[in-house]
Amino acid sequence: MTLGFIGDIVGRPGREIIDKHLVNLKKEYAIDFVIANYENASHGFGLNAKNAKELLESGIDAMSGGNHSFDKKEITALFETYPITRPLNYPKSMPGEGVLKTIINGTKVALVNLMGHFAMPMCDNPFNAVDGVLQELQEEGYKHIVIDMHAEATSEKQALLHMQKEYASAILGTHTHIGTDDLSIVEGCCYVSDVGLTGCRDGVIGMDKSAPINRFMNGFGEYFDVPKECKSILQVIIFTLDDEGRCTNAQKIKVYSEGDVVITQARVESK
């Protein structure tokens, strides 16, 4: 089974480059299922119904969230309508679920969504929240388990890898919008600290550069806005899992708005 994972989709530029390239990528790499992080998809903050439908029609099959999951109030209804999650370690009283279960070509697949602690909204401890969950999923027959770890700190993501690599097929970091170069397969678990954004690459974390520069220079907070025009990028991790849910191959594809494509192979880490 081959899966694709797209990091934080930031606004219209992110949605447009996905719509332009994802269907062809799915055909070229025989991708069975694509997961993407939606939390910045609607003008940089949250997800609305129109954009959710648009992304799913563009070739995305399921979506995970993060600290901006609840920025659009209509998200509550979307949890009941579309295959989307929010972090598992939000309080249980919050709408939505942190685990999405599905069947792909007869194989049970689970998506687990977590959110880190450092510089993030108050929530339950992600390490305690997920403790035992993956084992329970495997007991239910879900050997193919993908985790979106939405966190600021790479240390939290790496710690999760060492805690859950035995049970997870892939642990893929999101949130910082800046892709890291540590794509690897660690004892059968696909890992990267951050996939990187899909959207504008010539601003600051997908946003127009004016507001963040003014904030850094003057300490004056301004509204972060997604540019109407920019140089964009699509970043996707493509990984193959065997029948036991262990990763056998992984690569990162970067598609630039100018047409360039950069491919990076994962390094296999032995015991």
Could you list the active site residues?
68
Take residue 79 and report the two structure tokens written for it: 């949890």
Residue 84 near residue 65 (C-beta atoms within 8 A): yes
Residues facing residue 252 across a β-bridge: 237, 264
Helices (H), 82-237: 126-130, 133-139, 154-164, 210-218
Residue 9, burial from CB neighbour count under 10 angstroms (0-12, 13-18, 19+): buried
Q: Kindly state the greatest CA–CA separation across the chain.
A: 56
Contact 219, 227 (CB under 8 A): no
Could you give the CA distance from residue 222 to residue 61 in angstroms, rounded to a whole number? 34
Q: 269: which strand partners?
A: 186
Helices 11-28 + 49-57 axis angle, to 10: 20
The position carrying tokens 């694709």 is 4
DSSP one-letter code for 246: -
Q: Using only C-alpha atoms, what is the Rg of the chain?
A: 17
